[in-house]
Amino acid sequence: MSDRTVVVVRPIFPDVLEELRRHARVLDNQAGATLDARTRASRLAEADGLMVSAADPVTPEIIQAAPRLRVVANIGVGYDNIDTAACAARGVVVTNTPGVVDDATADLAFGLMLAAARRVVEGDGFVRAGRWSLESQLPMGLDVHHRTLGIVGFGRIGRAIARRAAGFEMKILYHNRHRLDPDEEIRLGVAFADLDTLLATSDFVVVQVPGNPGTHHLIGAVELARMKRSAVLVNTARGGVVDDAALADALQRGTIAAAGLDVFEGEPEVRPGLLGLPNVVLAPHVGSATLATRHGMVQRAALNLLAVLSGAEPPDRVN
């Protein structure tokens, strides 16, 4: 397979890079440099395999510029950065990295929920500003334990969030395209609800659906208005699943109490209306950002890429 060329767009872990080099010629970017147009075009022209992150768009133009391309290995679960239809039309396999991100993303979702409910960021600012005294009015938060959690999207990450909620003795509702078998619902301690019911009855709503045209603005002004005024919304799915403009308005008006966001519509830009609000906790798309998880993602992407180049079926094909 050494006659194959792999282009790696972003810096990756050195041990995984060495593993790729044992099987293919690798054009890496360990310096994280922004490549000029000529270098970029030259690399694409040689690429049999392409390893990208969620921040790297793979457009029809890029696919056309890579006539030898056989596989695009995405480092991440979501692959809305890749034109899968254009890849399929060219016979290019697209893969992602499910499974390895589940627990880290679920941890962050729960962390955002706790931080927003207990006003942790506001409290941090309170202490740093020297406003904490025996007479001061401390920020009062919301209980998380024994409350109702609604999970919109009940795949692997949604289920991991539910497992964490069980430790807080929460009532767990879920909404999904496909309902689980009753025995599975009992085993997981969850109950199915239509979206309107989930929104109206949940104290916390976590959105964890894929980003695609069918889920764009799944949570907008109408949906936010159905939620409790004391409710907290968390989005660890994809930017654009929640209408950020509508959310900023809802937070400002007190339609809902608070929010925790790891993803944004048009990121890395963030809607200015959100930036000035004290009742929203903002994170820079770091759901999978632990060393162990990111290493596992890169390993999985390399496994998928090398499988395709060797003529085998990759474990995580998405098209």
pTM across the whole model: 0.91
CATH number given to 5-100+291-309: 3.40.50.720
Give the architecture (CATH level 2) of 102-282. Answer: 3-Layer(aba) Sandwich (3.40)
Tell me what pLDDT residue 5 has. Answer: 98
CA–CA distance from 158 to each of 1, 10, 209, 242 (Å)?
39, 29, 9, 17
3-class secondary structure per residue, 113-158: HHHHHCCHHHHHHHHHCCCCCCCCCCCCCCCCCCCEEEEECCCHHH
Instruction: Name the 3-class secondary structure at 111.
Output: helix
From first to last of the 319 residues of the chain, give the pLDDT tens digit. 678 999 999 999 999 999 999 999 999 999 998 888 888 899 999 999 999 998 899 999 999 999 999 999 999 998 989 999 999 999 999 999 999 999 999 999 999 999 999 999 999 999 999 988 877 787 899 999 999 999 999 999 999 999 999 999 999 999 999 999 999 999 999 999 999 999 999 999 999 999 999 999 999 999 999 999 999 999 999 999 999 999 999 999 999 999 999 999 999 999 999 999 999 999 999 999 999 999 999 999 999 999 999 999 999 999 9
Same fold, 5-100+291-309 and 102-282: yes
Tell me what pLDDT residue 1 has. Answer: 61
Name residues whose C-beta falls within 8 Å of residue 148's C-beta, 6 or more positions apart in sequence. Answer: 170, 171, 172, 173, 201, 202, 203, 204
Q: Please identify every residue annotated as catalytic.
A: 238, 267, 285
Provide the H-helix boundaries in 118-266.
Answer: 120-128, 156-167, 182-188, 195-201, 221-226, 244-253
Spans of all domains in the chain: 5-100+291-309, 102-282
Tell me what pLDDT residue 275 has. Answer: 97
* Selection from 35, 43, 59, 80 nearest residue 214 by Cα: 80
Name residues whose C-beta falls within 8 Å of residue 34's C-beta, 6 or more positions apart in sequence. Answer: none
